[in-house]
Each structure stands twice: as C-alpha cells, then as structure tokens.
Amino acid sequence: MADKHTTLTASEAETYYNRFGKKQDSQGFYEDPALNDVIVHASFQDAESVFEFGCGTGKFASRLLTDHLSASATYLGCDVSSVMVGLATQRLKKYSKRAKVLQTDGTVHFPLSDHSTDRVISSYVLDLLSDEDIRTFFAEAYRILIPGGKVCLASLTKGNTLLSRIVSSLWMAVFRIRPSFVGGCRPILLDEYVNRDSWKLEHRKILTPFGVPSEALVLIAKDRPNKANSAEARSSCG
Ligand SMILES: C[S@@+](CC[C@H](N)C(=O)[O-])C[C@H]1O[C@@H](n2cnc3c(N)ncnc32)[C@H](O)[C@@H]1O
C-alpha cells in the first residue's frame, strides 16, 4: 500500500515552486528518459486536445507542440504556481492560438467538461500530492477523457535495482525529515492508485537514469457503463 506521510499543502507547493521557477528545467537528467518513454506509447500524433496538470515551465508542452502534436491540436496546462504559469505562458507564446495556461488554487479539479479531451498528462506532480489527491486526480482524468483517451504520466518511484533502491530510500528518508528539501516529491507507485475497472494498462516501465527511479505509465480510459449508471460509476472510479 501507499506510504503514509505528510505532503506539502497546495499553498506550500505554490511558495516552493514560485521560488524554484526555471531551476525545474535542470531536472531533465532523470525526467527526460521517462518522458521519452511516455511519448513512445502515448500516440500524441492522434490527439486533438491535451490537458496537463502541473505544467511547470511548459518544457514538456513545448516539446509536444513542436514535435509530436498535430498542427490543429489544442493544449491546456494548469499550475498552482504563478511563476510557473508565467514561464509556461512565455515559452508557449508562439502557440498562443491553441495553447493556454491557467493558474489554479491547487485543488485537484480540472477546468474541463466531461469527456472533452483525449490526453491528460502530468509529469512529476502526482508524487507531491496526498494519496487522496492522487485518487481524485485519476477520477478527474477519467471524467474529462473520452473513452479510449489516455492518461500519460511520469513520476518518481521506488527503485527496482540495488542503486535505485538506495537512492529512493535515501530520498524518502529526506522527505520524511522535511518534504521541501526534495521539492515536496517522494517515490510512489502510481500503479497502486489505478482502478482497473476504469483503466486499461497500455504501458508501464521503471527507468533509473543515474540511479533515480521514475515510473512511466500510460493508461487508456475504458468505455463508460450506460448513462443510468454513470453517476455511480463516476463516484467510484479513478
Ligand atoms: C516537480 S514540478 C514538475 C513540473 C513539470 N511537470 C515538469 O515535469 O518539469 C511540480 C509542478 O507541479 C506544480 N503543482 C504542485 N502542486 C500542484 C497542484 N496541487 N495543482 C497544480 N499544480 C501543482 C508545481 O507548481 C510545479 O510546477
């Protein structure tokens, strides 16, 4: 089961990432291999609309818009940090007709209607949310995705090799002392939060560049039960 621990509040995360700002881009040495792996399995070329939760500086969005999404595809990103929203907006300026970035209050509620998007992406964000918020994230992703749409995730995870096990244990130890020493992030197993009644596994891989373990996960939203049952299904899904 998921570890019990204290995660940063949304307002603590906002303060931290307002200060961290552009430095987030220096984390590519361990993030990029997992993001590359997600890209291989997310079929972004077929997506018409993408929603990103916790877009940071807009680095991943810029890469998707430049190299992987069709010229008509739209992007909506959100972040709790005003500094990150400013950086991402600036970075995505040349796509401003079809790419928007919003600041949120940190609640895990997506500003989109039901079944309105075909990709939900989030990289290195779920690992700083509480267990309850991670479950809400999956319920919200399921709500806004069309059936057959994909949730595409990368996150810090627990090691599966000797070196990466040592790294993730040390990381967790530091997190327990003070979450802000590691940006509020801790190693988690995304797979543990997935309700297989709602999601079909498309791809899962653990990557350990420089001994830092990441989980790349792509899930497909299963078709809904009939309309009469959908309210009940929604309350228990995700
Ligand atoms: C570790 S950074 C990752 C940023 C980016 N996705 C990347 O991979 O470079 C975490 C990001 O999530 C944002 N964040 C944290 N908690 C959030 C919340 N509750 N709602 C929206 N964004 C949040 C932070 O402001 C920060 O930009």
DSSP code at position 20: H
Is residue 155 a part of any domain in this protein?
yes
Q: Is 84 in the pocket of ligand 1 (CB under 6 A)?
A: yes
What pLDDT, in 10s, does the model give residues 130-154?
999 999 999 999 999 999 999 999 9
Tally of domains in the chain:
1
Is residue 83 a part of any domain in this protein?
yes
Nearest CA to ligand 1 atom 9: 56
Q: Which domain holds residue 110?
A: 10-185+215-236
What pLDDT, in 10s, does the model give residues 185-222?
999 999 899 999 999 999 999 999 999 999 999 999 99
Q: Is 127 in the pocket of ligand 1 (CB under 6 A)?
A: no
Is residue 141 a part of any domain in this protein?
yes
Q: Which of 79, 107, 132, 215 to mutate to test the pocket of ligand 1 (most atoms within 8 A of CB)?
A: 79
Is residue 228 a part of any domain in this protein?
yes
Cα–Cα distance measured from residue 143 to residue 200, given in angstroms and rounded to the nearest whole number: 15
Is residue 190 a part of any domain in this protein?
no
